[in-house]
A and B are shown apart, each in its own frame.
Chain A
């Protein structure tokens, strides 16, 4: 019975799970409230705590910019995702949040920064739920022959849905309009169920809708270990 209900959509589980967890007093939601980070050197009102966080963000970005490698920026002040190289924006996307409200965005921001004011985390996991299948069409077959490269390798995976995950179960869920083929229905269900449960235990998940062209870049550029800098929510 329990397993049957687990196999249904994750959303249905939310009610009972909350109940059980509340009764059993095992829930420890939320984290310590973090200060915002919009203080600048010219602001009239001075907030030392906010200034320290802002200083950390700036110092971290300066360090990241010195390396000749791209890094991801989660700009939660402007709801923007960016890929930067040497401090310059090379890709950006104005986030269209899906099933995510401001409080969840704030929770995501607070959890990312944590009590030790961590503003950079590497991507630890990238999970592809579904993507378009690769087909060897006639042009690619010709190119493949000339380049001695399998036609499938000449094509890009166009993701329907994927997730980027950082330590402490911080998840960015990206969905596109593409209708793809699931990588593994069973694993996808397990991941969804786990995250539905984890969401009630304080884990942070932000869901973003994205056009496929943007998603291709983000999916391919987000390699495991890619440093991710956050501009926390004010």
Chain B
């Protein structure tokens, strides 16, 4: 009996010990400082009375539904460099684009600094411009090592933004490009570049006021 106990229990205890040690040493430590304070403050007590509870639930459903756009919206996925014209369940346009490089430029003379990111968040199409001209900002000259011109006309370039530009605020545009081979790569200074065909389709579909979601 003792022998049986020894030959059964000892290996079991040994194996369990090995498992416990293995599971302990391979356990990852969670990163510090991650909190969901917002969620912790959510009031989640539904009234016990059925009638009141139904009303409360209905109000919450309505509030959430209100957030969803009724009309199609533009989504710019900076992670995969894709642009969509879509609703909640349907996609009307799915095209490759180019978004901000995330690179940094510092003017060695004035120490001014630029970070070329496409802004994230929710915006609206503010205007649609046919045959747009680009007014070159200071960073364009600093980046290329040219002197910043004094005459406004020296900043204007009518050949780089394609056939259309749609502004979504703060000087950012969805526009065409002469560098179509670079679509799909994060190379822009923050604007969103599209190929000619896709740009034409998007401009035709998109009314001014359309929501633009960038993530």
A220–B23 CB distance below 8 A: no
B22–A197 CB distance below 8 A: yes
Number of B interface residues at 8 Å Cβ cutoff, please give it.
56
A217–B31 CB distance below 8 A: no
B30 at the interface (CB under 8 A from A): yes
Cα–Cα, bound, A55→B44 (Å): 7
Cα–Cα, bound, A145→B43 (Å): 54
- Give which listed residue, B18, B39, B57, B88, contacts A58 with CB less than 8 A: B57
- Give which listed residue, B36, B60, B185, contacts A59 with CB less than 8 A: B60
Residue of A nearest to B51 (CB): A46
> What is the CB-to-nearest-CB distance from A43 to chain B, in angstroms, rounded to a whole number?
9
Encode B39-82 as 1/0 by CB contact (under 8 A) with A.
10111101010100111111011011001110001010101101
Cα–Cα, bound, A42→B43 (Å): 22
B53–A221 CB distance below 8 A: no
B93 at the interface (CB under 8 A from A): no
A227–B36 CB distance below 8 A: yes
Given A55-B57, A64-B39, A194-B22, also A122-B34 (CB < 8 A): yes
B42–A60 CB distance below 8 A: yes
B101 at the interface (CB under 8 A from A): yes
Chain A residues contacting B181 (CB-CB under 8 Å) are: 139
B28 at the interface (CB under 8 A from A): yes
A-B contact count (CB 8 A): 168
- Give which listed residue, A42, A154, A216, contacts B79 with CB less than 8 A: A216
B31–A124 CB distance below 8 A: yes
B36–A90 CB distance below 8 A: no
A109 at the interface (CB under 8 A from B): no
Given A194-B23, A225-B34, also A217-B80 (CB < 8 A): yes
Chain A residues contacting B67 (CB-CB under 8 Å) are: 65, 86-88
- Interface hub of B31, B39, B187 (most chain A Cβ within 10 A): B39
Given A67-B38, A122-B36, A197-B23, also A48-B103 (CB < 8 A): no
B213–A88 CB distance below 8 A: yes
B57–A24 CB distance below 8 A: no
B12–A46 CB distance below 8 A: no
Encode A1-31 as 1/0 by CB contact (under 8 A) with B.
0100010000000000100110110100000
Cα–Cα, bound, A147→B19 (Å): 52
> What is the CB-to-nearest-CB distance from B80 to chain A, in angstroms, rounded to a whole number?
5
Query: What are 23 A-B contacts with C-beta separation under 8 Å?
Result: A20-B15, A23-B12, A42-B58, A51-B57, A63-B38, A63-B39, A63-B41, A64-B38, A65-B64, A83-B215, A85-B122, A85-B215, A86-B213, A120-B39, A122-B35, A125-B30, A149-B101, A154-B101, A154-B187, A156-B80, A165-B28, A197-B19, A225-B34
B→A interface (CB under 8 Å):
12-13, 15-16, 18-19, 22-23, 26, 28, 30-31, 34-36, 38-39, 41-44, 46, 48, 50, 53-58, 60-61, 63-64, 67-69, 73, 75, 77, 79-80, 82, 88, 101, 103, 121-122, 181-182, 185-187, 211, 213, 215
Kindly list 9 other residue pairs between chains A and B, CB separation below 8 angstroms, not including A154-B101, A221-B215. A62-B63, A87-B67, A88-B88, A90-B75, A148-B103, A154-B187, A198-B23, A227-B36, A227-B38
